[in-house]
Amino acid sequence: MSETDSSYHLKKAQEAFERQNTLLALFHFEQIPPQDQTPVVLSSLAVCVAREKNNLRRALDLCRRAMEREPANPLHYLHLGRIYILAKKKHMAIMTFRRGLKCGRLQGIIDELQLLGRRRAPIFPSLGRKHPLNKYLGIVSERLGIH
């Protein structure tokens, strides 16, 4: 594949990704040869793979490879956090977003954290958040609309 083909697919993939058309973005990202895949391409491809192919293991691997090459880029943390959300691992997503904010303030990370919401303080602060009293009384108080 020539350099112009690679840059064409990169441009089309980025445009589709920005429009949240992950299926089209996936097609174009996969056309880019491995030697031309930048860390941003890898982590963007990871989001596409997670959403469209539901291959979370491959998506996590791609995103981690991108983070190894560019550990201080908050965009990779945004992508990894979104993959964790797709995997229904909210706690891991929040931790990842917070680590990303330490690398740089990225509006996408801030927006994701606001969407996930804040946790209220435990009913019994001296007990751990996972303690059964805090857990079950928290569920009951939430349903009753108190606390």
pLDDT of 95-147, one tens digit each?
A: 999 999 999 999 999 999 999 987 778 888 899 888 999 889 988 988 888 86
Are the CB atoms for 122 and 138 separated by under 8 Å? yes
**DSSP assignment, residue 47?**
H
Nearest alpha carbon to residue 96 among 64, 54, 55: 64
Sorted by where each begins, the domain ranges of the chain are 3-116, 120-147
DSSP assignments along 70-137, one per residue? -TT-HHHHHHHHHHHHHTT-HHHHHHHHHHHHHH---HHHHHHHHHH-PPPPPSSTTS-TTSHHHHHH
**DSSP assignment, residue 55?**
-
pTM of the model: 0.80
Provide the greatest CA pair distance for the chain. 63
Instruction: Tell me the percentage of the chain whose pLDDT exceeds 90.
Output: 77
CATH assignment, 3-116: 1.25.40.10
pLDDT tens string 10-61: 999 999 999 999 999 999 999 999 999 999 999 999 999 999 999 999 999 9
How confident is the model at residue 118, as a pLDDT? 75
Cα angle value 74/62/59 (rounded, 5°): 100
